[in-house]
Amino acid sequence: MSTQSDSRIESTAEELVITRVFDAPRDLVFEASTRTAHVRQWWGPRDFTMTVCEIDLRLGGAYRFVHRGPDGVEYPFKGEYREIVPPVGLVYTQILDMSGASDHELLVTVTFDDRDGATLLTGQLDFGSVENRVAAMETGMERGMAESLDRFAELLAALQGG
Give a three-class secondary structure readout of the chain.
CCCHHHCEEEECCCEEEEEEEECCCHHHHHHHHHCHHHHHHHCCCCCCEEEEEEECCCCCCEEEEEEECCCCCEEEEEEEEEEEECCCEEEEEEEECCCCCCCCCEEEEEEEEEECCEEEEEEEEECCCHHHHHHHHCCCHHHHHHHHHHHHHHHHHHHCCC
* Run means of pLDDT, 10 residues per run, the chain, 162 residues: 61 92 98 98 95 98 96 95 98 85 83 97 95 84 90 97 83
Q: In degrees rounded to 5, what are phi and psi of residue 116?
A: 55, 55
What pLDDT shows up at residue 17? 95
What pLDDT shows up at residue 2? 37
What pLDDT shows up at residue 1? 35
Task: Give the global pTM.
Answer: 0.91
The topology (CATH level 3) of 4-43+82-159 is: Alpha-D-Glucose-1,6-Bisphosphate; Chain A, domain 4 (3.30.530)
Each residue's pLDDT tens digit, 103-148:
689 999 999 999 999 999 999 999 999 988 888 888 788 888 999 9
What pLDDT shows up at residue 79? 97
